[in-house]
Amino acid sequence: MAEKILVVDDDLDSLKLIGLMLQRNGYEVSAASAGSQAIAKASAERPDLIILDVMMPDMSGLEVCRRLRKNPDTKSIPIIMFTAKTLIDDKVAGFEAGADDYLTKPTHPAELASRVKAMIGRNTTPSKPSASGVKGATIGVLGVKGGVGTSTIAINVAAARHMAGDTPILTDIRPGIGSSGLALGLGKASGIANILSKPVEEIRPKLIESEIAVHSSGLRTLLSSPQPKDAAIQYSPEAVLTLIRTLRTMGKPVVVDLGSGLSPLISRVQQEMDHLIVVIDPIAVTLNMARELLFELDKSRTDASKTHVVVVNRAASSTPPSWSEVEQTLGHEIRAIIALASELALHAQQQHIPIVTYQTTAIASSQMIKLSDEIAARIRMPAGEIPAN
């Protein structure tokens, strides 16, 4: 039976065009030209997906989205927002209202089809992938520069996987400049330095297990200390690669904080990552740096769909770049925007608790949980299957 998609747009020409594109891809289409009509149809028909225009005369798409999310009958229906607006702040507003994805007009039929396929597929598989689905996987988190939130994303992606029932290990390769241990209340954790100071042949599960520190939430960590003396430790790239490969047998998945920039070591280690999250902020200087970094990464990574650009937006800019401008500058799709409130991050850190654990229902928490789930779902894909963006 064909999946049903409810298309909501007050522009009848757009409504017909989108409906025709979807029907050609085998979907059953229902239509609404006003917000109130959309809410009624969604409740009565329970479609598999809603494509919702933002600008409508009787009720904005944002308000429609909020009402659908409050209704127990419609709160789980995936929603793609559709609008001519491209500013990042507009997209953040859509995600805050409860949208799952965002498309701008005009859109290419192939892009619409791929987004729809991905969204429906995501909704028909478990939203919390099981531990067996992410066994042996590595997720790297790399910042374009310092201060963009790399460690925050790494900590919370790992915490989200733990909350989902997986058994992750959070680690970093930053002897002497590690901050995650302090953020999580684990003190000056020196597990990485203690392991990398050993001969390569001694880096085995038993040694690693002895250096793992467990957070109060149950999340397992293997972290670097902030002690400058640890930065002077001499270790080989082979030791780091052996550590990562051994962790693959122990964590489901392993989330690796790679710090910022591409040193020769990190350039090699990132190739061991099944999925790589590149963290940026929406600032012109960062975007230019990110473009160069992604260019280098594309030369060493065989599958661009496994490199995920994440924008951490701590404060709304008076003149934010548009979503499409950012993607055009980078040459990469933006996987997620995290609207990270500084006050929330501060309070969570003061309690030594990951944001997703401290306040699960916060906007930033929902966005990081969603990012974690999406990457885990991609890890679970059968070999050779092309992921839909």
What is the rounded average pLDDT for all residues in the chain?
Answer: 86
* CA atoms of 192 and 260, how far apart (whole Å): 18
Residue 26 domain-assigned (yes or no): yes
386 pLDDT band, cuts 50/70/90, is very low
d(CA 292, CA 68): 41
Residues 111 and 254 in one domain: no
Q: Phi and psi at residue 185, in whole multiples of 5°?
A: 75, 25
CATH of the domain at 61: 3.40.50.2300
Question: Residue 26 has which token pair?
Answer: 């085998």
Indicate if 279 and 314 belong to the same structural domain: yes
Regarding whether 114 and 149 lie in a shared domain, the answer is no
* Number of domains comprising the chain: 2
Same domain, 207 and 178: yes
Cα radius of gyration (the chain): 22
CA pseudo-torsion sign 158, 235, 136, 210: negative
Same domain, 22 and 94: yes
pLDDT band at residue 14 using 50, 70 and 90 as cut-offs: confident
Band of pLDDT at residue 87, cut at 50, 70 and 90: low
Averaged over 170-177, what is the pLDDT?
A: 89
Among candidate residues 80, 99, 123, the one where a domain is terminated: 123
The reply to whether 208 falls in a domain is: yes
Q: Summarize pLDDT for 250-307 with one digit per residue, the tens.
A: 999 999 999 999 998 999 999 999 999 999 998 889 999 999 999 999 988 888 889 9
Amino acid making up residue 357: T
Buried/exposed 264-287: b ≥16 CB within 10 Å, e otherwise: eebeebbebbbbbbbbbbbbeebb
237 and 106 within one domain: no
Whether 187 shows a pLDDT value over 70: the answer reads: yes
Identity at 358, one-letter amino acid code: Y
CA separation for the pair 304, 276 (Å, rounded)? 10
Q: Could you give the CA distance from residue 161 to residue 164 in angstroms, rounded to a whole number?
A: 5
Note whether 117 and 137 are same-domain residues: no
pLDDT for position 56: 86
Mean per-residue pLDDT for 200-215?
A: 92
Residue 141 has pLDDT above 90, yes or no: yes
- Name 60's Cβ contacts closer than 8 Å, sequence gap at least 6: 35, 54
Residues 155 and 22 in one domain: no
For the beta carbon of residue 95, count every other beta carbon within 10 angstroms.
21
The answer as to whether 388 is a domain residue is no
The residues facing 139 across adjacent strands are 255, 275
Residues 355 and 310 in one domain: yes
Length of the chain counted residue by residue: 389
Q: Do 137 and 163 fall into the same domain?
A: yes
Q: What is the DSSP letter of 131?
A: G
Tell me, what CATH number does 235's domain have? 3.40.50.300
CB atoms near residue 31 (< 10 Å): 17
Residue 321 binned pLDDT confidence (cut-offs 50, 70, 90): confident
Residue 386: inside a domain = no
CA–CA gap between residue 153 and residue 63 (Å, rounded): 29
Tell me what pLDDT residue 125 has. Answer: 43
Model confidence, pTM: 0.68
Where is mean pLDDT largest: 130-144, 325-339, 372-386? 325-339
b vs e for 198-223, b when ≥16 Cβ sit within 10 Å of the residue's Cβ?
Answer: eeeeebeeeebeebbbebeeebbbbb
pLDDT at 133 over 50: no
Flag whether 309 is in a domain. yes
Share of the chain above pLDDT 90, in %: 47
Do 60 and 145 lie in one domain? The reply is no
Q: What is the mean pLDDT of residues 328-350?
A: 88
DSSP string of 148-190, one letter each residue: SSHHHHHHHHHHHHHHTT-B-EEEE--TT---HHHHTT--S--
Residue 387 lies in a domain: no
For residues 88 and 315, what is the distance between their CA atoms, to the nearest angstrom? 12
Amino acid at 210: S
Residue 257 lies in a domain: yes
Q: What is the mean pLDDT of residues 178-203?
A: 88
Residue 322's domain spans which residues?
Answer: 131-379
Q: Across residues 315-342, what is the average pLDDT?
A: 79
CA distances to 198, 232, 300, 332, 382 from 201, rounded to whole Å, are 8, 21, 28, 40, 34
Rounded-to-integer distance, Cα 13 and Cα 385, Å: 35
The band of 383, judged by pLDDT with boundaries at 50, 70 and 90, is very low
Task: Kindly tell me if the per-residue pLDDT of 198 is higher than 60.
Answer: yes
The larger pLDDT score, comparing residue 266 to residue 96, is at 266
Q: Of the candidates 123, 158, 189, which is a domain's last residue?
A: 123
**Highest-confidence range of 85-94, 97-106, 235-244, by mean pLDDT?**
235-244
Domain boundary among 64, 95, 123: 123
Domain contains 385: no
Asked which of 23-27, 84-88, 186-190, 385-389 is least confident by mean pLDDT, the reply is: 385-389
Domain identity same for 320 and 279: yes
- Pair 112, 227: CB distance under 8 Å: no
Residue type, 245: R
pLDDT (mean) for 218-247: 90
